[in-house]
Structure 1
Amino acid sequence: MRERCKACAVLFRTALCFLLLACMPLPAAWAATAAGPELLEDVSIFEDTTAAMPLEAIVALPKSDRGGFVPATKARLNPGFSRSAWWVRLTLVNHDNVERPIVLALHDARVDRADFYSPRSGRWTLDAVFPITGIDANQAPPRYPMLNVTLHPGEKIPVIVRVTSRKTLQLEPMAFAQEAWQAKEIRAALWNFGFLGGLLALAWSALLIGFFSRNSAFYLLAGLTLSTALFEASIRGYTRAYLWPHAPEWSARSEILFVYLAIALFIAFILKIARGEKVRMPVQVIYLAILCLECIGMIGAAFGDLLVFTRFCLQLSVALGILNICIALLFSKRGTPTGRLLLVTVCFALFNLLIRTVEGLDALPSALSWLKSDIYPNPVIAIIGLATHLVVLAAWINHVGRQRTEARQRLEHWQLTEQDRLRDEVAKRTVALNEALGQAQTSMQQKIETLGYVSHDLRAPLSTINGYAKLLLDSATQSQAKLIQSIDRSIRYQLTLIDELLEYTKAELQPLGVSPSPVDLPDLLDDIAGYAIALCAQQNNQFIYRPLTPLPKTLEIDGIRLQQVLLNLLSNASKFTRSGVVTLTIKAHKQADGYRIGLEVADTGIGIDVTKKTDIFGAYQQVQAINGGTGLGLFIAQRIVKAMSGELLVSSKPGVGTSFAFEITAPALGHALIDVDDLPHPTQPRTEPARSRTPTLKPPAQDLDELAQFARNGRLTDVEDWISRFANVPGYASFLDEVQKCVDALDFAAIEALLGSTQDQVDLTSVDLDRILT
């Protein structure tokens, strides 16, 4: 508040200084204007309504009230708007005893053209033209129409002046001694410099305030003040003389253009205040209509008939003034926040306009005689106008500052209230989150315990299978022993995975660890291919193992993790492919630090629409729900490949097939390479010729439903107990063998399909161990 008061005080002091300057007595040298002998005689005027009469016809006109020159009066010398050409006839006289330079001037810069004629050698000659063309660049052009002559003692010279203008005119001629004219011009320049400089300073101040306060209303004020300054400079002739001296047409039109622009900015300023204050303007449509008319007027003043649009500007300004008075009174009566400010603005503007009008009519009362001046336009009136601008700007600054203070107080109150509300909301959310966290931890603990139970249930049948395999190994032939050893390796691999499953679950699906060690790559791939053959046989698929390049013998790599990735991919490929082809492709490229191994598992199965299924590598994401699937296979494979500094990529098309590929880098131990032809190639298992089909007996439907329930839930131990329960029942052997084969392959979906089949089953009788193993 203190800073705003200081700013207002500075502005008011500036306005007071201008007013005091207007009232100060002037130096005697500057006051010597036309005092002394009269320099003008026989001033008369004639209106040429055609604006086309030649000089010879004007010279021949008599001094008569009918069709000739008439004595000049103040009313006749102020004709207002007119399309006529006005001729002023006068006589310059030197009553002094010495030769004297004399300046004849028309104190009105709004004329379009002025021609000065005087008799030379018995003929009337054109002595001066306004505006001057072809003037020296170093010489300042005159602001007003003027004629410089030098008169001898007692000499008289008749002069005829022709004037045309498309704006209001003041044709009163004035004659000055040369030194008096120069003193008068210097004095006018000082006054005008103070006035125009003050307007420009106001525009700059409003622009700076608008920039720092980010209030666009101050930008409008800056534009309004700048337009006013250019208008005041135009009517004083400065724009014609200094800004565009070689463009007389633009000089004539610029004055009206600046008036239109200033009024348009003033209307925009009022609308901006109303919008910012959220005040409903009762006649906003009228303001918008006047604003549109102002824009039309600017276009017309620039390119149309200047006289028409000058009159239109005056009428539109009067209508806007009346509208502003009504709106200001209405807002003040309503108690609108900006009503008082708008009323003050309108009152000062009307006061300024009233003083200008009274001074132009020469009707100032004696109490206001100090407002009179021999300088045109009256600088005292102009300074009062500048003071009104200062007052309005100060009032607006004070209003905006008060608004900001109130807004800051409301903001602080809102912040305190919002902080309390947020504090309560955070407390409630914290309690809710703690409860949700507790539930999540309980749920996670239950899942971990469930996985522990599942792992324990899986260990028991695998350990039993491993024991039976070791018993068979004692009495097996050499070829059978090789197959039983493959079974043993598979069991031990599955047991290792079960152990890691628990650790993996407890670590909450964190990246799996990789422990590189020397691995015989061809043997590892041969074992994986053997597993793949067994997996593909379940869905009648063909497995192809395709090495593309020679492979290094030994690599420093985590063989178990690599086997886990490939078996997951091969399992998925065989699971979603029926009577198709599953291919494992491998290639190796030498690098400086080892080999880059590229592996690809492709199938001709159902395929995946990767455009719709973008998160196939997410945990528990299943491409197609099947019995026994958890959705962790691709997730685990991707995490292992990333741990090996690779990236698992997928390429698939629905109905065509899917391909998963990745590359890993591993150092080689030694330089041994195994050629493609020397690599082991696993063979497809031989199948027994089909026996004659005989009807197969099955247990009762109730027992079959129980088996289907066990298979659907993946309860391996219960399935084996169910098989043992009917092992000694005659006639069930063939059906139980089929179920046992599905159990051996851990294919619970096949058990459900077997139970739901209506066809006769193949009668597999008990055969000896050699036929089973082969």
Structure 2
Amino acid sequence: MILVRLHRLLLALLVGWCFCSLARAQSLDLSELPPRVDLVPHLQLLLDADASLQPESALQQADWQPATLRQLSRGSTAAALWLRLDLVNSSPEPLTRWLALGNPRLERVELHRFDSEEGWLLETQRAGMAYPPSVPLARGMDAVFALTLLPGEHSHLLLRVQSRTVMTMQPQLWQPLAYLDQKLLDDLRYLLPIGVTLGLVLYLLANTLARGNQLLFLLGLWLGLGAAYDFAYYGYLRRYLLPQGSELAARLPHLLGLLSNLVLVVYMQVYLEMRRRCFWRLFFPACAILLIAFSLNTLFGDLRWSIAISALFLVLFYLVWPLALIQPWREGVPYVRAFTLLLGCVWVFTVMRIVATLGYFHTLGLAVLYAAIAFKVAMAFVLLYLVARYSVSESRHLEAMQAEWLVAQQIEQERLSQAVRSRSAALRQAAVAADEAARAKGELLARVGHDLRAPLTAIMGYAGRLEEAEGTLRQRALAIGRSAREMLALINGLLEYARIGVQPDALLPQPLYLGAFLRSVAAQASELAARHGNRFEFRLEGDLPDVVALDAKRLRQVLMQLLHNAAEFTRQGRIELLVQTRAADQADPQALPQLIITVRDDGPGIAADQLPTLFQPFQRLGAGQSHQEVGLGLAIAHQWVVRMGGSLKASSAQDQGTTMRIWLPVEPSDETTIAIRHLMRQDSRLPELRAEGRRLWLVDDSPAVRELLLADLTGQGFIVTTLADGREALERLSAPQQQAPDLLLTDFRMPGGDGLAVLRLARARWPDLPVLLLTSAPEVLAGKEHGFSAVLAKPVSLAELRLTLARLLGLTVEGEA
């Protein structure tokens, strides 16, 4: 321990002796200095090639030498520079000075202050882009240190400077107020051209949005990146966006410079049309790819290596690309001369900066600085002038093109008007002819129908009288009547088949309850099937829509024709009506869900060679069949199905029955679109109830249904509370202190909660409450333990509804349904 302390004491004495020798050689008296002092003549410099020396070991080196401006501007280097300086305060007052190195892009700067008597290290300060500012008032401007010396104090300073970016310095000693005043002037010098450039950028972007011009956008982007590069180069990015210092603060200036050159390369390739020039169409894309690679390496890789390599590349690039302007100059490309002059100035100052990066030129001199500022302002106004001239020229060209287009448009419009007039006249004549033909055809059909039906009606009348006789005469009269009825059915089929062509748009789709419509068809089919001892089955499969828009008359006609044929050709067998649904194709936004209606029987079947012509008119079955006449029924049914946008197909096997299947697109709808006359079933006589004072809740999402039921039920003496949907009903049932109604009448499918949800909540609160369900699809609940007191199908029969309410509530009925 004693040897260690002795070694430290000897080292301190040696350091003190070195500083005493230095103080005698070049001490600066702060009391005698002007507001600004250039420190280059007063500094000693030591080059630390591998950046490994500590302050004490650096002082012991023997190769200290006087500093020069060239030695302080080394460009991109991995070495560290050591600077030493001696200060003294001979005044009777404390003095404060700021030591500034004149470069905001230095990365790491350390100031070590030693005691002049003992040689002890008094303090260490750090500045640069990697550290927070040591002097808050000078934030982001330079690497600045605040030095305060007491009266008679003698201090020795040792500075260590290391930077992966460009190492250029112009050390100065300032009075604080003088330094801040000077920086205000510098801000004006630096920010004025940046502001003018940004104004030009905004103008170019506005023109880009208005005109959609690619060149204006690239020019604005290039100028904007150049302004951002200057903003970072002079330290304003560090001052305003990264005040605490970071790795990004060191990388961004060089990255913005590379991106600016990248956009310049793209701009030149587009503006000078380099794609049609053999060498340059490969040169500029290759340069763009290299600049992108250098940019990525600057952002994520070794910064010093990226700066050095990219600087060499840019020197070569800026030496080569001026040759690309020779051929466009000769060809007289618009504004190429002004563009060449402008890029020549850009070339000069860019090369100066690149050479400074390599350490061969010092760009911090005032002459170069002022020249660069003047050039940038001039460049901005020249560009503004060129863009304005370009915009005026483009506007004139556009106006000329618009004038030519208007003339051509007028000529084309006159030609089209003449063509439309002549075509309209031809179409009017064709329409008149078609109307006359249709009217004539309709009149002919009406006349023929009347002329054919009249004698048949007379024959059927006389045959009906003769059927009252007895014996052989009666049998002959029955045969005459049967033949006359078959002839009348054939005539009616012929007339209807002909009318389909006369009235091609005879469909009238209307919203209706799909389930009720199918049940009514099934009821008629059941009677048809029973005539020949057949068993009829009706099934609904899948989630069918409650309400659809279709032509009920035509679809009923088609289905009854198919069911009639099945009943006629089947004896003591089975006839099935099956209805299924297929969801719409999600890939096609115009697609509709489809109904698949199948009529199947187990009759004798149809031969395979007769199936292709089954739906053609005037076709007969083979001679081997017991029923020879097919008639026009299937042809008419097929035409109506096709007219409705669907398809009808048949399949059969000999002696194994026939299957007719319809694929029909349907448009789902809702109850609000159903005509009021179709919401209720018409009853010849309605029973009257005595329901004075009975409270009833009505839940239905159709306003029309609610209004009809409300009017009828209040007329019977009920006190009715209407609820718009399932959500409102559930909220009402969940409300505390709610008095129970005498009966709850609810729809099944509703937004916010279906009828089952309403039933469960109602029974959970009032177990004995009668709940009556109205639904357009009672088949959904068939065979299930649903728990409803009763289920009625829509459209509702008021007579059936009143009798059901009377049964559930024990009401007196006056009259019968």
TM range (shorter): 0.5 to 0.7
User: Which region of structure 1 is more displaced relative to structure 2, 329-338 or 474-483?
Assistant: 474-483
| Residues 406 and 227 of structure 1: CA distance in aligned 2, closer, same or farther (over 3 Å) | same
Aligned match of 2:637 in 616, 634, 640? 634
Alpha-carbon offset, residue 226 of structure 1: 3.5
Residue 79 of structure 1 aligns to a residue whose secondary structure is strand
Query: CA separation in 1, counterparts of 2:385 and 2:614?
Result: 71
Within-5 A mapping of 1:271-670:
271-273=269-271, 283-337=280-334, 339-340=336-337, 342-350=339-347, 352-353=349-350, 378-379=369-370, 381-425=372-416, 427-428=418-419, 431=422, 434-435=425-426, 438=429, 442=433, 476=467, 477=469, 480=475, 481=477, 484-487=480-483, 510=506, 544=534, 568-569=561-562, 603=601, 622=615, 626=619, 633-634=636-637, 656-658=658-660, 667-669=682-684
- Opposite residue 303 of structure 1, the aligned amino acid is F
How many residues get paired? 576
Query: CA separation in 1, counterparts of 2:357 and 2:555?
Result: 104
Query: CA separation in 2, counterparts of 1:415 and 1:189?
Result: 53
* Higher RCO (Cα < 8 Å, 6 or more apart): 1
1:266 aligned onto 2:269: no
Which digits, 9 at most, give the CA deviation of each residue in 1:742-761, with x for residues without a partner?
Answer: xxxxxxxxxxxxxxxxxxxx
Which digits, 9 at most, give the CA deviation of each residue in 1:297-335, with x for residues without a partner?
Answer: 112112322222112222232333334422233222212
Counterpart of 1:86 in structure 2 is: 81
- Opposite residue 51 of structure 1, the aligned amino acid is A
User: Which region of structure 1 is more displaced relative to structure 2, 389-398 or 446-455?
Assistant: 446-455
Residue 658 of structure 1 aligns to a residue whose secondary structure is strand
RMSD: 5.7
Alpha-carbon offset, residue 603 of structure 1: 4.7
Which digits, 9 at most, give the CA deviation of each residue in 1:561-595, with x for residues without a partner?
Answer: 999767754676689x7999795989xxxxxxxxx
1:122 aligned onto 2:118: yes
Query: CA separation in 2, counterparts of 1:315 and 1:175?
Result: 35
Alpha-carbon offset, residue 657 of structure 1: 0.8
Within-5 A mapping of 1:129-168:
129-131=126-128, 133=131, 141=139, 143-150=141-148, 157-168=155-166
Query: CA separation in 2, counterparts of 1:397 and 1:374?
Result: 35
| Residues 142 and 636 of structure 1: CA distance in aligned 2, closer, same or farther (over 3 Å) | closer
CA contact (8 A) 2:131 2:245 kept: no
CA contact (8 A) 1:356 1:381 kept: no
Counterpart of 2:13 in structure 1 is: none
Alpha-carbon offset, residue 33 of structure 1: 10
Counterpart of 2:96 in structure 1 is: 101
- Opposite residue 166 of structure 2, the aligned amino acid is T
Aligned match of 1:256 in 248, 251, 254? 254
Which digits, 9 at most, give the CA deviation of each residue in 1:453-504, with x for residues without a partner?
Answer: 7887787777666666666666553563556555555556666777888887
Query: CA separation in 1, counterparts of 2:314 and 2:40?
Result: 38
Residue 126 of structure 2 aligns to a residue whose secondary structure is strand
Alpha-carbon offset, residue 250 of structure 1: 2.2
Which digits, 9 at most, give the CA deviation of each residue in 1:317-367, with x for residues without a partner?
Answer: 233333442223322221234634642441342354478799999999xxx
- Opposite residue 78 of structure 1, the aligned amino acid is S
Counterpart of 1:243 in structure 2 is: 241
| Residues 141 and 316 of structure 1: CA distance in aligned 2, closer, same or farther (over 3 Å) | same
Structure 1 residues not aligned, in runs of 5+? 1-31, 63-67, 365-371, 515-520, 534-541, 549-559, 587-598, 673-774
Counterpart of 1:698 in structure 2 is: none
Alpha-carbon offset, residue 259 of structure 1: 0.9
When normalised by structure 1's length, the TM-score is: 0.59
CA contact (8 A) 1:352 1:388 kept: no
Which digits, 9 at most, give the CA deviation of each residue in 1:715-765, with x for residues without a partner?
Answer: xxxxxxxxxxxxxxxxxxxxxxxxxxxxxxxxxxxxxxxxxxxxxxxxxxx
Residue 52 of structure 2 aligns to a residue whose secondary structure is coil
Counterpart of 1:234 in structure 2 is: 232
Query: CA separation in 2, counterparts of 1:240 and 1:300?
Result: 21
CA contact (8 A) 1:455 1:498 kept: no
Query: CA separation in 2, counterparts of 1:41 and 1:409?
Result: 68
| Residues 424 and 73 of structure 1: CA distance in aligned 2, closer, same or farther (over 3 Å) | same
- Opposite residue 113 of structure 1, the aligned amino acid is R
Query: CA separation in 2, counterparts of 1:161 and 1:512?
Result: 97
Query: CA separation in 1, counterparts of 2:606 and 2:343?
Result: 80
Counterpart of 1:183 in structure 2 is: 181
Residue 378 of structure 1 aligns to a residue whose secondary structure is helix
Query: Is the radius of gyration larger for structure 1 or structure 2?
Result: 1
Query: CA separation in 1, counterparts of 2:200 and 2:406?
Result: 37
Query: CA separation in 2, counterparts of 1:38 and 1:660?
Result: 100
Aligned match of 2:195 in 194, 197, 212? 197
CA contact (8 A) 1:261 1:298 kept: yes
Query: CA separation in 2, counterparts of 1:496 and 1:160?
Result: 119
Counterpart of 1:731 in structure 2 is: none
Query: CA separation in 2, counterparts of 1:411 and 1:498?
Result: 62
| Residues 509 and 119 of structure 1: CA distance in aligned 2, closer, same or farther (over 3 Å) | closer
- Opposite residue 413 of structure 1, the aligned amino acid is E
Counterpart of 1:746 in structure 2 is: none
CA contact (8 A) 1:47 1:87 kept: yes
1:51 aligned onto 2:44: no
Query: CA separation in 1, counterparts of 2:484 and 2:267?
Result: 93
| Residues 316 and 490 of structure 1: CA distance in aligned 2, closer, same or farther (over 3 Å) | same
| Residues 34 and 661 of structure 1: CA distance in aligned 2, closer, same or farther (over 3 Å) | closer
User: Which region of structure 1 is more displaced relative to structure 2, 79-88 or 660-669?
Assistant: 660-669
CA contact (8 A) 1:51 1:83 kept: yes
- Opposite residue 316 of structure 1, the aligned amino acid is F
Report % sequence identity: 16
CA contact (8 A) 2:535 2:575 kept: yes
Aligned match of 2:67 in 67, 72, 79? 72
| Residues 484 and 156 of structure 1: CA distance in aligned 2, closer, same or farther (over 3 Å) | same
| Residues 450 and 543 of structure 1: CA distance in aligned 2, closer, same or farther (over 3 Å) | farther
Alpha-carbon offset, residue 162 of structure 1: 1.9
| Residues 291 and 95 of structure 1: CA distance in aligned 2, closer, same or farther (over 3 Å) | farther
Which digits, 9 at most, give the CA deviation of each residue in 1:524-555, with x for residues without a partner?
Answer: 989x969x99xxxxxxxx7859699xxxxxxx
Alpha-carbon offset, residue 72 of structure 1: 2.6
CA contact (8 A) 1:102 1:150 kept: yes
Alpha-carbon offset, residue 223 of structure 1: 3.7
Query: CA separation in 2, counterparts of 1:512 and 1:185?
Result: 86
Counterpart of 2:789 in structure 1 is: none
| Residues 659 and 242 of structure 1: CA distance in aligned 2, closer, same or farther (over 3 Å) | closer
Query: CA separation in 1, counterparts of 2:288 and 2:639?
Result: 72
Residue 51 of structure 1 aligns to a residue whose secondary structure is coil
Query: CA separation in 1, counterparts of 2:50 and 2:607?
Result: 94
| Residues 278 and 164 of structure 1: CA distance in aligned 2, closer, same or farther (over 3 Å) | closer
| Residues 136 and 439 of structure 1: CA distance in aligned 2, closer, same or farther (over 3 Å) | same
| Residues 327 and 508 of structure 1: CA distance in aligned 2, closer, same or farther (over 3 Å) | same
Query: CA separation in 1, counterparts of 2:391 and 2:383?
Result: 12
